[in-house]
Every structure is written in structure tokens, then in C-alpha cells.
Amino acid sequence: MKTAMSTTRERYDALRALALKLDLTRGQPGDDDFDLSNAMLTIVDDKALVTPSGVALRNYPGGIAGLKEARELFAPVLGVQPDEIIVGNNASLALEGSALMWAMLKGVPKSTAPWCKGEVKFIVTVPGYDRHFLMLERLGIGMVPVAMTADGPDIAAIEKIVASDASVKGMLYVPTYSNPTGDTTSQAVAGRLGRMQTAAPDFTIFADDAYAVHHLDDAPPAHPDLLGAAKRAGNPTRVILFGSTSKITFAGAGVGFLGGSKETIAWIGELLGTQMITPNKVEQYRHVLFLGRYPGGIAGIMKAHAKLLAPKFNAVDAILTCELSGKNLATWTKPKGGYFVSLDTAKPVASQVVKLAKDAGVALTPAGATYPFGKDPNDRNIRISPTRPPVDQVRKAMEVVAVCVQLASET
């Protein structure tokens, strides 16, 4: 008689024999997503060399904050006014890195000394985004992990930490459809982040709103108004927002932007202006023309993305439900937007699952990547990125993942 264990092992061996080559590591759009924006490649031609506001695209003048038309287009994405945004070059991560480096070297508007003169720690949410952890690590900024919850970061824990420790200078996290849990900060939590008492007078929230408009269905949660909440509490420089078009048009080949109060924009604008004369205005105008003409604008193209991406997220949930529900082996998120699904195994077997999946031809993000220094203390979390492969590949890959969870949990 076959035992349950041999059955799972047999299934795994049969899947391995298929010599699959599938990849769930890449938080990237699919080629069909990119195809939505192909018209952008040629939309700026020699008849569109000067913007309606009179800026020559091919020359330096125009200022560090980017085209007026681009600021008007992207300000609503971050929920700010056009004079509260700088539209820059191709990566929000580069803007985050610049703002953090300037904070280390010179301090932020309310600092009395550069941050690098003393110990600096940041609150990070876990599970979270590996590139955030790496950036902080490389800058010598310590990390204080707090849990991500369905309402956003664990606000009670944060209030306690920041009230007593003046070396906790800030926080770096994803407020909307968090990477990887898909959780969105509630307005109540945003309010508490904006008004909490901080031992450091220059405590700054670096809010990476990479997925601000990346809804998967028609009933999205309210966009958290972090900046508004901080302003209302008399802390206008507490919040800096970041975003980009990497998952709206082309990944790493679009524009990034930074939002904040006028004081914040004046501070960072002056410093960024020492690093470049102007951002790439040709790229910005491409986006202005293309997204401005897209039916429904930015919301319109995001709906078209959702049509392509939602079936992939549905496939992840359907396979995991069919294979794992009721077995107490794992829990997983069902995000309403963003780019990831977060899976937690019940037993400390995440690294074993990732290894088994790799041996069966399915690449997963390394276990631990969603924690600082690549170390998940519980070895339970796995980030699933279903957006890039076609849906049939997502289904097959998730079958392998589910079988690996079962197999690893048996031992």
C-alpha cells in the first residue's frame, strides 16, 4: 500500500522528470504588458520638440523638477499637488538612494547634524523588499524589523520604538500593495504614522509607493494619504513618497518621481540639482503624450494591465487552494493589487521548498530574501512573483511549489 508520503514523493519525481524551466522570481511585467505601451517608442518626433509650456526637450533648461506637464500627470499617482513632486529619470530606487545618501551626508530639513555623524537605524517591514534591505545595509543603516499586517505596518510596535530611540531616524516601506504581502496601509495607520511622537525630531518616512495605482480589481482600497496625515499633524517634512512608471509603461525605461511637502521638495531639489542639470525631458514628454492620450489615462492603462495580470494571480490562488487548503501546511496572501503573493509555510521549511522547486526546474526567490540580511528567522516566507510568465506556466510552476510544500512538510 502506498503511503501519503510516497504519493507526494512520486508526484514530485514525476514533475521533476518533466525537466521544467520555469521562473517565479522576477517581479517584472509580461511582454504583453509592455506591448500596451509600444506606441510610446515613436510618439515623440521632430514635430514635438517643444512642450506646450515652452520647454525645449533637447536642451538643458527646464529645471530639476521635470516638465510641468509630467508633474501634472504623475502628481495624482502619489496623491500630491504638481508643486509637490519632482519627476526624474528611470528609477524610483535611484531617487530613494539619492535622498537617503543626502540624508546621511547632510541630514534632512529638520536635522541638526548629518545622519552619518551618529548611529542611524530604520524601521523596515517584514516580510519586505530585498532591495530596500540591501540599500540600507550598504549605507550602514541598521534595520529594526516590524511586522506587516493587513492594515499596514504594525503601528503599535512602531510608536513604541520611535518614541524612545532617537537613533531610529526613519522608515522605508511600501505603503500600497506591499512587496511581497500585498497589504495596503489603512488611513487610520497613516494618521498614526503622521502624528506619532518621535524621539528623533527629523524622523522621516520613505514611502516607496511603487504600486500606488496597480489594482487587480475594481474595488481597490483607499490610497493611504501619508503626506496629508503628516501635514495635518504639523509634520510636513516627515514623509517622502516615491514612485515610477516601471510597471505602468516600461520597466527601468520610464520615469521615476518623488513627492513631498514644498519644504521637502525645496530641500531635495536643491541637492539633486547638484547632480544633474535636468532629467531626461524627452522620456518625460513621451509619457505625457502617451499616457495623456491613452483612453482613461493612467487608470485606463492600469485596467488593461489588470486584465492581463489578474488571471495569473487567480491561477496562483486556485492551485494553492486546490493543493493545500485545509491541510495546515501553508497560508498565502490574496492581493488586490501589486506584483507579489507572499506564502508562509507552517513549518520552518521555506528554504527546503525553494531547493526542491529548483531541483524540479522552478526558480523561486531565495528563501530569506524578504528579510534583512537575507535571513528569515523562522524560515517560513516565500515570495511568489507570477507576473512575468504566461498563465499556463504560472499554473504548472505553482503545482510544483505546492507539491514541494507538501513534500518538505512531511520530513
Interatomic CA distance for residues 370 and 375, integer angstroms:
8
User: Which of 136, 210, 315, 394 is close enough to bind ligand PLP by CB under 6 A?
Assistant: 210
Residues in contact with ligand PLP, counted by CB under 6 A, come to a total of: 13
What does 218-232 look like in DSSP terms, one character per residue? SSPPPPP-HHHHHHH
Q: Is 174 in the site for ligand PLP (CB under 6 A)?
A: yes
Task: Pick the closer one to ligand PLP by CB: 220 or 348.
Answer: 220
**168 has which bridge partners?**
121
User: Which of 179, 185, 187, 409 is close enough to bind ligand PLP by CB under 6 A?
Assistant: 179
Q: Is 51 in the site for ligand PLP (CB under 6 A)?
A: no
Interatomic CA distance for residues 211 and 242, integer angstroms:
10
Interatomic CA distance for residues 85 and 245, integer angstroms:
14
CB 77 within 8 A of CB 211: no
Task: Pick the closer one to ligand PLP by CB: 27 or 389.
Answer: 27
C-alpha cell at 40: 510610446
What is the DSSP code (8-state) at residue 259?
E
Q: Is 246 in the site for ligand PLP (CB under 6 A)?
A: yes
Q: Is 208 in the site for ligand PLP (CB under 6 A)?
A: yes
Interatomic CA distance for residues 280 and 320, integer angstroms:
44
Task: Pick the closer one to ligand PLP by CB: 202 or 283.
Answer: 283
Kindly indicate which of the ranges 87-95, 360-368, 373-381, 397-405 contains the residues binding ligand PLP, using the contact rule CB under 6 A.
87-95
Which 248-267 residues touch ligand PLP, going by CB under 6 A?
252, 256
User: Which of 129, 290, 313, 371 is close enough to bind ligand PLP by CB under 6 A?
Assistant: 129
Q: Is 370 in the site for ligand PLP (CB under 6 A)?
A: no
Q: Is 185 in the site for ligand PLP (CB under 6 A)?
A: no
3-class secondary structure per residue, 235-249: CCCCEEEEEECCCCC
CB 316 within 8 A of CB 91: no
Q: Which residues contact ligand PLP by CB under 6 A?
A: 27, 91-93, 129, 174, 179, 208, 210, 244, 246, 252, 256
